[in-house]
Structure 1
Amino acid sequence: MTDEPGFTAEHVIRPVSRRILAAGIAGLAGATTIGALWATEPGSLPTRTQAAFAGLIVVGLTWAGLAAWTLVRRPLFAADRVIGAWLAIVFSAATAVFSGVIAGPFAALPGLLLAVVAVVLLVRARAWRDRLRSQVATLRKAGEDA
């Protein structure tokens, strides 16, 4: 037995994902753009348009919030991946439902396809998080045994 555990900090504490940062920047840019468009409309918008704008702003700000939380909270142990996958499931399923209700069942297919992809991403994210948790447990046990 050696004094060095089998895992180093680089194995369990990874850098911030560029994908999450890109989603956060895109979400903030989208929410800002839609908010500016909504604020500068000369007349009153229809109720459904206002609801759609509000929903898109919430989606964008949610992705920006996840990116900000990812930057502030370290180490994450892949919690950001799991949360991101859940957000993708919720938002793509909501898109499918609203598209299906407004434009018909064929309009819901892209949202349903994205929801299926998001479920696959959730399964992968949970597996990665579980792997990191087991590595952390191994490191803690090795630290206690030393």
Structure 2
Amino acid sequence: MSEQDPAARRDVPRELERALAAEASLGSRMRHVAVGLAGASGAALVAVLWATEPHPLPARTQAVFAALIAIGLAWAAFATWVLSRHRPLFAQDRVLGARLALLVTVVTGTAGTALAAARSTAAGTLATALTGAVLVAAAALVLSRARRRRRELLRLRDALRRETP
């Protein structure tokens, strides 16, 4: 944006207003409600399944159940954090959500590959590892896009602050 271009300077507040309206829209909030409910419901379902097993489960199964509950609770906590903010987040929620998605994808892909290596054929292990790698790459791309969007919004905010007396 040129310092000399008054039309470009007038567009900054409008562009930031549009971006923040999309960030705080009812649709955005409802998506976070859905994420929170899905995470909490998934954690509750696994916890009930675990609690109602008639026999003691093997340690590995207990570890997986605990990890699945932790993942569900992490998504529920994330959604609660976003919904409790009463100020613009400037896409900070997108970055945090993408980080969480990348972490969960790496852990799940690694655990799945290790399990396949222990119990499957070489082809099954390779297929699992490739699937995990594709999902990790997709999550990394989402994180990259979220960071870029956050930088863009912060740049707009800073430009508006510089122009406002």
Give the TM-score normalised by the residue count of structure 1: 0.88
Matching of residue 113 in structure 1 with residue 134 in structure 2: yes
Which blocks of at least 5 consecutive residues in structure 1 are unaligned?
A: none
Partner of 1:143 in structure 2?
A: 164
Find 1:80's aligned residue among 87, 90, 93: 93
Task: Spell out the pairing of 1:40-51 with structure 2 (5 A cutoff).
Answer: 40-51=52-63
Between Structure 1 and Structure 2, whose CA radius of gyration is higher?
Answer: 2
Q: For 1:54, what is the secondary structure of its paired residue? A: helix
* Deviation at residue 19 of structure 1 after TM alignment: 4.0
Find 1:95's aligned residue among 104, 108, 112: 108
The percent identity for this pair of structures is: 41
Find 1:11's aligned residue among 19, 25, 32: 19
Which blocks of at least 5 consecutive residues in structure 2 are unaligned?
A: 1-5, 118-124
**Contact 2:42–2:72 (Cα < 8 Å) also in 1:** yes
- Summarize deviations over 1:49-70 as a string: whole Å, max 9, x none: 1000000000000011111111
* Deviation at residue 108 of structure 1 after TM alignment: 2.5
Give the TM-score normalised by the residue count of structure 2: 0.78
Separation of aligned partners in 2, 1:43 and 1:60: 24
Task: Spell out the pairing of 1:47-86 with structure 2 (5 A cutoff).
Answer: 47-73=59-85, 74-86=87-99
* Deviation at residue 138 of structure 1 after TM alignment: 1.2
**Contact 1:96–1:111 (Cα < 8 Å) also in 2:** yes
Q: For 2:12, what is the secondary structure of its paired residue? A: coil
How many pairs does the alignment contain? 144
Matching of residue 132 in structure 1 with residue 153 in structure 2: yes
